[in-house]
Structure 1
Amino acid sequence: MAEENGSGAAATPSEVPNASSEAPTGTPITEVSTPSSSQPPALENRAELLTKARAFLHQPQIQREDALSKRRFLAEKGLNDAEIEGLMRELPVQVPLVPPRSYPQPAPSNLPVLLLGLARLFSWIAGGTAALTFIYYRILLPRVTATFLARSSLKSHHLSLIQKLNASLAALKESQSEAAAVLPKPEPHKEPAAFTTCLSLDALLEQAKKQDIEVSGVSEISLLRCAISDFRKGSESRNPRTEEVFQVLEGKIPWLVSEEGAPFEQRLWETLSTCPLFVPNTSPSSDSPSTPPPADGQEVLYWRYDPPTPPSPTALAQSLSALSTSIPKPSSEKHSPFQHALQSMTDFTGYISSQMYMPYLPVGGRFGSGSTMAPAEEEVRKEIRALKGLVLNRRTFLPNASMRPQ
C-alpha cells in the first residue's frame, strides 16, 4: 500500500493487506478487512496505527467514498474522534466527479426540411398566380371589357334619348304656349260653382256639409261674400266694418276663435284686404255721405262686395258658339228602318180582308183571254205585283241577322 500511494511508511503484508483486492471499486468500506488477529501486537503503538489509517484514506477507491462511511470505519478500528478529525483534514479537497462523456447525439437540423417546404410553398404560389393570371386574361378580362363597352354604349344611347326627349319637350312647351295664347285666361278670383248660388252663411255651410267639405276647405271669397250679405240683411243695407264682418263669421263659425282656426282667420283677413272684389269705402252705404275720421286718426272702412264682370268671349268661344248653332238639331221622332214595309203589309192585309166578302166571279170570266177586267181588278193586280216586287227586293238586299243593329 505504501508503494502505490507514494508514502515512506513501511508496512508488512501481514499487517496491512492489499486494499485493491479486498476493497474493489464500488464496494462499501465495511468490507475492507484488517488482519485476523483478535488482539494487536504489544509492540504496535499509536503512531503506527495512525500511519496505517492515513495510508488507507489515501487509497483512490477509498477517496471516492463519502465522509460518513470513512469516519465510521476509522471509529471501528479504534481511533478516537480527534484523530479521525485530524486525518480527515489531511485529505485533499475532493473535486466533483466528472461524468463520463457519453452525451446523446444532437438531433438533425430542420433547415433542409424548412428550405424544402419554403421552396414548395413558393412554387405553389407562383403556379397559382400564373393560373389565376391566365384565367383572368383569357376568361374574365374579355367579359369585363365587353361589359364596360356595353355599358358605355348603353349610356351614350340613353344620353341621346334624353337629349331628344328634352328637345321634344321644349318644342311641345313652345307649341303649347303658342296654342294657349288664344285660350281664355282663368279668373284669379273665381268661386267654385257649387258656392256661387249661396247667398247666406247658413246656405253656404249646408252646401259644404252636403259635399263633405270642411270649413277650412271653403273658399274665402264665398265666406266673406255671404258674411257681408248676412250683415246687410239685418242692418238696413248698410255695409259692415271689418270688425263686424268677422263678428258675423265668428258667430256662425265658432271654430275661427280657436287656436286651430286662427291661421284660417288670418287668410280671411288677407283675402278681404287684397281681393279686388271687396271694395273699402269711408261711408256705410253708397247714398250716404262719407263720415269724418274719428279723433284718434284711424279711418273706419266699410266693405262692400262687387261681383266680377263676366269676361268677353274669346274668338275661339265665338267660333265654337257659331258652329254649335249652325249644326241642325236632331229630330225627336225616330223612324224604324222597317216602318215602310210594315205599313205596306198592313195595307195589304186590310185589302185582302175587304176582298173576302166580294161576290164570286168565274175564273174564265175574270182571267179569260177575251175578257176584260174591271178597273178595280186591274188596280188590285198592280198592287199585288208591286207588293211582290217590294218583298223580293227586301229579302234580297236586307243585311244578315248577325249584322242587324241590336
Structure 2
Amino acid sequence: MAGSEDSDSAAPMSPEVREPTPAQTEVPASAPLNAEASTSSAGQPEPENREELLAKARAFLHQPQIQREDDLAKRRFLVEKGLNEAEIQGLMREMPVQIPAVPPRSYPQPPPSNLPVLLLGLVRLFSWIAGGTAALTFIYYRVLLPRVTATFLARGSLKSHQLALIRKLNASLAALKEAQADTAAVLPKPEPHKEPPVFAACQSIDALLEQANKQEIEIPAIPAISLLRCAIADFRKGPESQNPRTEEVFQVLEGKIPWLVSDEGAPFENHLWDTLSTCSLFVPDLSPSPDPASRTPPAGDHDILYWGYAPPEAHSPTALMQSLASLSTSIPKPAPEKHSTLQHALQTMSDFTGYISSQMYAPYVSSLNRFAPGGQLGPAEEDARKEIRALKGLVLNRRSFMHTAPRPQ
C-alpha cells in the first residue's frame, strides 16, 4: 500500500477518482493495516459501481499476505474503503477457513548412526583375520610342514629299520634253535625223577632226616621221591616184608614226621600223594608181594593198591660223555700247595723290605719340622711318639705313687 500512496501523490489531481487496482491494493506483510487505511482513504471519493468495489475487496482479501492478518484489521480497512457491515460480513464468509499455523518442531536431533563405524570395525577385523591366517599359513608351509614331513619320514625309516632287525633276530633265533636241536641230540637226556646224591644213598626215613639236619634243610625242601622211597623201604623191613598200601605209606610217614599231621604240613602231604600217584618210579599192584613176577596191573579204581618202588634203569654213557671222562682223566692234576715252616718269617721279611723301600724313596723331612708342634708326621713316627708318651706317663705315675722308705736317723 505504500507503493500506491506514492503513485497517487505523484499523479496530478483530477476531478475523477481512480479506483485502486489489485496491484495497488496489495499491502506488504511488514506494514500495518491502520497506516494503509489512513493513507488510502485520504482525499478519495466512494466508487460509483459497488460491484467493482466488491470485486476489488474480494481480490484484496484473497491475497496471501492479507489472509495472514487479523480479522479486525481486515474489517477496519474495508470500512475505510466504503463497504458496509453487510458487505463486509458476506466477504468474510466467502473467505476459506484459516488453519492455524503449526509451529515448527523443536525435537532434538537424533545422534549420528554407528553403522559406518561398525562396518569399518568389521572390515578391519576381517582384514586382520585374513592377514593372520595368511601369515600362519605361510609359517606352517615354510617352517612347520617341512619339519613334520621330515619327522614322519624319519619315523617311517626307523620303523622299517627296526622291523628289518626284528626279522633278522627271528631268523637267527630260528637258526639257533635248529643248531641247538641238532647239537642236543648227542647229549644225554636228563633224568626226570633223579634224586640228589645226598639223599639217594639214604635207605630209611631216619637216615634221611639225619642227613637233612646235617645239611640244614627243612622238611618241605626234602624231595618227595626220597621220602616215599624210604617209607616203602621202612615198611618192607617189618615181619611181613611186603609192599604197603596207600594208607600204610602215609602212616609210616606221619609216625616218623608228626609235622605232616598239622595244618601247615597238609599241603606237603598232598604233594606227596600227587608224587606217589603220578611218578613212574612208584608202581601200583594188586598183590602185596614185592616180587616183580607176581605183579598184576589194577583193573579198576576200587581195587586195593599196593605200592612198590622200581629204581630207574642205568643208562649207558654216550660217546660224548665217554670222551669227556677220558679228557678229564688225561688232564694232569694241579700240585698241592706246599707250606713251609719259614713261610711266616719270609712274609715278615718281605713286608719289612717294602717298608724300607717306601721310606727310602719318601721325600726328606727335617727333624726340626718333624717334631715341631705343627709338623706333619708319618704313621710310623706317630706310633713311636705315642709309645714314648705312654712310657713316659707310666714312669711318672710309678715315681709319684712309689712307696718311699724312711731315712735312717
- Give the TM-score normalised by structure 1: 0.50
Q: Deviations over 1:273-317 (max 9, x none)?
A: 23222233444344699799xxxx954333222322321101101
Cross-structure match for 2:242: 238
Q: Quick one: distance in 1 between partners of 2:103 and 2:256?
A: 125
**Matched ranges for 1:94-113 at <5 A:** 101-113=105-117
Whether contact under 8 Å (1:282, 1:290) holds in the other structure is no
Q: What amino acid does structure 2 have at the position aligned with 1:172?
A: L
The structure 2 residue matched to 1:157, chosen from 145, 156, 161, is: 161
Q: Does 1:187 align with 2:162?
A: no
User: 3-state SS of the aligned residue for 1:199?
Assistant: coil
Q: Does 1:136 align with 2:144?
A: no
Q: Quick one: distance in 1 between partners of 2:109 and 2:292?
A: 138
The structure 1 residue matched to 2:176, chosen from 167, 172, 181, is: 172
Q: Does 1:252 align with 2:256?
A: yes
Change (3 A) 1:138 1:201: same
Whether contact under 8 Å (1:282, 1:301) holds in the other structure is yes
The structure 2 residue matched to 1:280, chosen from 284, 304, 308, is: 284
Paired-residue identity, %: 77
Q: What amino acid does structure 2 have at the position aligned with 1:171?
A: A
Cross-structure match for 1:317: 321
User: 3-state SS of the aligned residue for 2:237?
Assistant: helix
Q: Quick one: distance in 2 between partners of 1:120 and 1:232?
A: 111
Q: Deviations over 1:192-226 (max 9, x none)?
A: 23322333334434544555655444322112112
The structure 1 residue matched to 2:205, chosen from 170, 176, 201, is: 201
User: 3-state SS of the aligned residue for 1:183?
Assistant: coil
Q: Quick one: distance in 1 between partners of 2:259 and 2:333?
A: 53
Q: Quick one: distance in 1 between partners of 2:295 and 2:133?
A: 104
Change (3 A) 1:100 1:216: farther
Q: Quick one: distance in 1 between partners of 2:293 and 2:144?
A: 97
Cross-structure match for 2:382: none
User: 3-state SS of the aligned residue for 1:310?
Assistant: coil
Q: Does 1:124 align with 2:128?
A: yes
Cross-structure match for 1:19: none
Cross-structure match for 1:146: 150
Q: Quick one: distance in 1 between partners of 2:112 and 2:229?
A: 114
In the alignment of these two chains, the number of paired residues is: 233
Whether contact under 8 Å (1:283, 1:289) holds in the other structure is no
User: 3-state SS of the aligned residue for 1:195?
Assistant: helix
User: 3-state SS of the aligned residue for 1:194?
Assistant: helix
Give 1:262 deviation, angstroms.
Answer: 4.0
**Matched ranges for 1:215-234 at <5 A:** 215-234=219-238
Cross-structure match for 2:363: none
Change (3 A) 1:204 1:287: closer
Q: Quick one: distance in 1 between partners of 2:249 and 2:333?
A: 50
Give 1:155 deviation, angstroms.
Answer: 0.8
User: 3-state SS of the aligned residue for 1:276?
Assistant: coil
Give 1:129 deviation, angstroms.
Answer: 0.4
Q: Does 1:265 align with 2:281?
A: no
User: 3-state SS of the aligned residue for 1:279?
Assistant: strand
**Matched ranges for 1:268-347 at <5 A:** 268-286=272-290, 299-328=303-332
Whether contact under 8 Å (2:290, 2:308) holds in the other structure is no
Q: Quick one: distance in 2 between partners of 1:288 and 1:175?
A: 43
Q: Quick one: distance in 1 between partners of 2:295 and 2:191?
A: 34
Change (3 A) 1:287 1:309: closer
Change (3 A) 1:177 1:240: same
Cross-structure match for 2:404: none
The 10-residue stretch of structure 1 (304-313 or 114-123) with the greater mean CA deviation from structure 2 = 304-313
Whether contact under 8 Å (1:280, 1:302) holds in the other structure is yes
Q: Quick one: distance in 2 between partners of 1:289 and 1:146?
A: 83
Give 1:327 deviation, angstroms.
Answer: 4.1
User: 3-state SS of the aligned residue for 2:304?
Assistant: coil
| Aligned-residue CA RMSD (Å) | 3.3
Q: Quick one: distance in 1 between partners of 2:293 and 2:147?
A: 94
**Matched ranges for 1:71-86 at <5 A:** none
Whether contact under 8 Å (2:228, 2:272) holds in the other structure is yes
Change (3 A) 1:291 1:139: closer
Segments of structure 2 that go 5 or more residues without pairing to the other structure are 1-101, 339-409
User: 3-state SS of the aligned residue for 1:122?
Assistant: helix
Q: Quick one: distance in 2 between partners of 1:289 and 1:322?
A: 40
Give 1:252 deviation, angstroms.
Answer: 3.3
Segments of structure 1 that go 5 or more residues without pairing to the other structure are 1-97, 335-406
The structure 2 residue matched to 1:115, chosen from 102, 119, 122, is: 119
